[in-house]
Amino acid sequence: MQTSLVLVCLLMSGILITGCIAMSEADQWNQKGVAYYEKGNIQQASICFSRAYQLDTENSETLYNLGTVYVANKDYSNALWAFNRSIYYDLGNSAKAKSSRDALLRQGYK
């Protein structure tokens, strides 16, 4: 009985650690994307943000950054989607995501 409990605890620890590694990798891709975006390399930024999103689909910062790339590429419907998702998973990006979303809506994009 005690051995089973230890095995379950070890298994759960491994799952939690794996999740943390994936989050950390997603954050690294997001930061790479930010660096590319700041240098004006929208295509590379888009690749990095997309990879970060694949690793963590609920990261509001990544979703906001994807939205900014979509705007830069004039892909306004995907930008609205990304900003809305960022707002939904709000981790401090809600105000800027709402502002960006609302600006697109005022311009008539849906």
Dump the DSSP string for 71-108. Answer: HHTT-HHHHHHHHHHHHHT-SS-HHHHHHHHHHHHHTT
Per the structure, the count of domains in the chain is: 1
Domain that holds residue 44: 26-106
Calculate the alpha carbon distances from 94 to 2, 5, 18, 63, 97 in Å.
46, 42, 28, 11, 5
pLDDT digits (tens, 9 = 90+) for 64-94: 999 999 999 999 999 999 999 999 887 665 7
pLDDT given for residue 51 in this prediction = 98
pTM, to two decimals: 0.73
Q: What is the mean pLDDT of each run of 10 residues along the chain (110 residues)?
A: 45 46 79 97 98 95 95 96 91 76 88
Backbone dihedral angles phi then psi of residue 36, each to the nearest 5 degrees: -65, -45
pLDDT given for residue 91 in this prediction = 63
Residue 81 placed within a domain: yes
Residue 16 placed within a domain: no
